[in-house]
């Protein structure tokens, strides 16, 4: 049994989607970051950085924070949604791309464009421009491919699961996915997966997956 401590954010949904895809037993615990619950001492013992998500694997005693580490741990433990050989590192490459670029930059767009519009025209333009650059990078990568890693047309991996929840907030970014047809096809292909639909609703159901 795995305890997942999470909230309804792209980072949180990465792990709940993976757990649903794996089909393993887990319990999702809500950590409402709008109420500061991530600063509770009990959560700090699991996640010293006070960020969701975090897991406790009750089979092994492993406690982990940081989505990249959690996803790689679960993929390795259950031997699913990874790649072999050189493609393993290609998958890790795109997982790191999400963690180091796509997530942080999209997060800044959400902060300035959605939550604080008009406070800094410079920041809105800076981060929106970078978001579109990253969409173009993903659009190019998905040309002739179904997924971002794996041989030939690719295979569905934790890299896709990490990127997809951030793209699911395209409306927060004021991005028209139809301008990126490869990304749009990939997005819809993943959105149709029952496990993704279940994971999207953890740890709290806040509505359906956004569709362009």
Domains within the chain, CATH numbers bracketed: 2-80 (3.40.30.10), 86-193 (1.20.1050.10)
pLDDT band at 193 (very low <50, low <70, confident <90, very high): very high
C-alpha distances in Å from residue 95, one per residue of 43, 87, 117, 175, 190: 25, 12, 30, 22, 16
Instruction: Cis check for the bond before 198: say yes or no (omega within 30 of 0).
Output: no
For residue 149, the 8-state DSSP code is B
* Per-residue model confidence (pLDDT) at position 113: 97
The predicted-structure confidence for 72-129, as pLDDT tens digits, reads as follows 999 999 999 999 999 999 999 999 999 999 999 999 999 999 999 999 999 999 999 9
pLDDT band at 62 (very low <50, low <70, confident <90, very high): very high
Kindly tell me the sign of the dihedral angle through the C-alpha atoms of 63, 66, 69, 70.
positive
pLDDT band at 7 (very low <50, low <70, confident <90, very high): very high
Q: What is the 3-state secondary structure (H, E, C) of 129-141?
A: HHHHHHHHHHHHH
* Per-residue model confidence (pLDDT) at position 128: 98
Pairwise CA distance, residues 96 & 86, whole Å: 16
């Amino acid at each position: 049994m795995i305890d997942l401590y999470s909230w309804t954010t792209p980072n949180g949904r990465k792990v709940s989607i993976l757990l649903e895809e794996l089909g393993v037993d887990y319990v999702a615990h809500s950590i409402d970051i709008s109420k500061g619950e991530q600063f509770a001492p009990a959560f700090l013992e699991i996640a010293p950085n006070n960020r969701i998500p975090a897991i406790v694997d009750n089979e092994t005693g492993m406690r982990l924070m940081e989505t990249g580490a959690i996803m790689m741990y679960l993929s390795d433990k259950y031997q699913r949604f990874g790649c072999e050989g050189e493609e393993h590192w290609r998958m890790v490459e795109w997982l790191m791309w999400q963690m180091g670029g796509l997530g942080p930059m999209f997060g800044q767009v959400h902060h300035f464009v959605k939550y604080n519009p008009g406070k800094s025209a410079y920041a809105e333009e800076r981060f929106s421009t970078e978001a579109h650059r990253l969409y173009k990078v993903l659009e190019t990568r998905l040309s002739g491919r179904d997924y971002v890693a794996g041989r030939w047309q690719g295979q569905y991996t934790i890299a896709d699961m990490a990127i997809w929840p951030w793209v699911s907030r395209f409306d927060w970014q004021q991005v028209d996915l139809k301008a990126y047809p490869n990304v749009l096809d990939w997005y819809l292909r993943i959105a149709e997966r029952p496990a993704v639909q279940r994971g999207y609703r953890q740890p709290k159901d806040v509505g359906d997956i956004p569709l362009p």
